[in-house]
Structure 1
């Protein structure tokens, strides 16, 4: 069950997997790094996560239902599982509780924060820490908008795209990249800086020796990005999580936060604009080959790739080491001249 997560370099990590609003009274099934997971709520609205596979005959628990006792019932033979995975009832087979313990379902640690549901990718174990949730997503007075869609792409290609500022004046020249495109000249030079942070790194850039751009990107290890949008006396930050579904699909989870334009219909217009920006990236990312980000030596890179190469080296090192915790990013990558 862990093979897919380990193959994606994604074992033993916190990641958002769904929006809170997606999980209601019915169980919600999803795939994370090839592992099937079911989310469900008890009668108090508390969310739980189990391996979406009944230990009896392997069917999807997400096809079942949640009873009044908050237990998830398998659709095949009616086995019932509590939020902690304990098997509470096996129809037609009365037995004492101590014997039923061997029929438990596998659990995943799960948290509900910032309008998202976060899963720790080590089944059957306690998480050693808590998810790193950006505080602005839980800040009073801030409008928070959530959106998700699935791309036909490996999560590493999507993640590198989200950390890549040099593509802005080309892919996004009609939207957020317009100002940078208008400033560029045929001989313009962009200088990139990558600075380690407790949660990953921050990347900034300058054009033709000018002042650093007020906008900046942050990598939120392992699969998140934050974009600070500079607006005088206003707060606006965009977040993206590239959640691996399997080797060929990634769920793109977008969160927009701001302290202005919180009332409809203006709020809806800005939120649709954010979706437009996301769609501008989609076709380009889905065309990448090989599908997964390859070793650094297999593609031709330049100085403006510092941020994406820092992520790639982290990913490849983690994948090589399997589920062991990799070393943190402590410095920006160096590039051969």
Structure 2
């Protein structure tokens, strides 16, 4: 699990007038709206006696109150009122918890979990079709995985598995015909162009059969983004019909992932077709979920030493390389093993921008330990350990 990235914490519609608890990167957080409607995010722990702020309430001070003793925390994590001391009483300097930047996009609440200043953060991935209501119809789907987020993202960009896991998307006998045409990648993203030869379309009261013949060439472009651990799957059904599945994959903990998915389509844009779109999207997630839950090991291997890959795996290799770079060079990976001895005895928190801005402040909570970067340079001509083997 990586810090210093944007993650989706919850659907916007789920956070109204009461605080909401969410779990990300193995830690608990509280989301609450102020009077202006802005969503705020804090660590879900009162540094007085450990109360859960998400079980409290919002106040006239634009704060969230702890249900145990009523301490009120503002959007910056600072205590503004201690009822037992009365109005106007001084507040201890250390009465503060971590607060995290938030944004609402695509019907989702995004939270930046890390301490990087704003100008150094990777951006939230673009999804312009979501706001283009005139040309695209959107539906939302939620799915919980038993599996690490790294495995979930890799599954989402793996075209070769479709012929075996998704009967509606591929034939096993056509597996060697499906082809990767092009792979692009940047510092924190990657995309690939592919051609597949899937079965005839189904759904929408049988109408889909009219729009693509059996085994007709279909062009599919999967993409991944490190921020949000997002996967974007763009499917060109035919020359005029397109659909996109955009899912943000949030690591709840090492073994659990929650996908916030939006599917948009530029055809059959009437509400009567929404339930069918949701049902088919959930079916695909379910087929993938059964496979991912049984993968060994649960976590993504750091190299190919104990795996064998071929040229059809090169796009997944791009995902692994970018992820590994941010672990080994930037040191963004949470060291969950170092936290195990303190389970149930100590509360950790994700480092926030407020900590970096106040380096001499003595915080009450310790931050999660991180795996130290290796700080090694790799010659440009060296073979990347995520590259497939020659055959």
* Residue correspondence of structure 1 range 1-337 to structure 2 within 5 A: 8=1, 10-94=2-86, 99-122=91-114, 128-129=120-121, 130-141=123-134, 142-173=136-167, 175=168, 177-178=169-170, 181=171, 184=174, 188=177, 190-191=179-180, 193-197=182-186, 200-206=189-195, 213-222=218-227, 223-231=229-237, 232-295=239-302, 296-321=304-329, 322-323=331-332, 334-337=387-390
Q: Deviations over 1:152-203 (max 9, x none)?
A: 1111111110010000111001x2x13xx17717x65744632125751111
**CA shift in 2, pair 1:148/1:206, >3 Å:** closer
Give the Cα–Cα distance (whole angstroms) in 2 for the partners of residues 304 and 316 of structure 1: 20
CA contact (8 A) 2:143 2:285 kept: no
Give the Cα–Cα distance (whole angstroms) in 2 for the partners of residues 152 and 42 of structure 1: 34
TM-score of the superposed pair, with normalisation by structure 1: 0.85
Gaps of 5+ in 2: 198-215, 333-372
CA contact (8 A) 2:141 2:262 kept: yes
More deviation, 307-316/284-293: 307-316
Displacement of 1:112 after TM fit? 0.7
3-state SS of 1:102 partner: coil
Displacement of 1:204 after TM fit? 2.1
Displacement of 1:252 after TM fit? 1.5
CA contact (8 A) 1:217 1:225 kept: yes
**CA shift in 2, pair 1:188/1:149, >3 Å:** closer
Displacement of 1:310 after TM fit? 1.4
3-state SS of 1:229 partner: strand
CA contact (8 A) 1:192 1:303 kept: no
3-state SS of 2:164 partner: helix
**CA shift in 2, pair 1:247/1:106, >3 Å:** same
Gaps of 5+ in 1: 1-7
Give the Cα–Cα distance (whole angstroms) in 2 for the partners of residues 217 and 239 of structure 1: 10
Give the Cα–Cα distance (whole angstroms) in 1 for the partners of residues 296 and 389 of structure 2: 23
Displacement of 1:100 after TM fit? 4.5
Residue in structure 2 matched with residue 3 of structure 1 by the alignment: none
Give the Cα–Cα distance (whole angstroms) in 2 for the partners of residues 255 and 105 of structure 1: 33
Give the Cα–Cα distance (whole angstroms) in 2 for the partners of residues 229 and 202 of structure 1: 13
Displacement of 1:52 after TM fit? 0.8
Give the Cα–Cα distance (whole angstroms) in 1 for the partners of residues 48 and 321 of structure 2: 41
3-state SS of 1:298 partner: coil
3-state SS of 2:219 partner: coil
Report how many residues are paired: 320
Displacement of 1:67 after TM fit? 2.3
Give the Cα–Cα distance (whole angstroms) in 1 for the partners of residues 387 and 94 of structure 2: 52
**CA shift in 2, pair 1:248/1:198, >3 Å:** closer
More deviation, 125-134/160-169: 125-134
| Greater C-alpha radius of gyration | 2
TM-score of the superposed pair, with normalisation by structure 2: 0.74
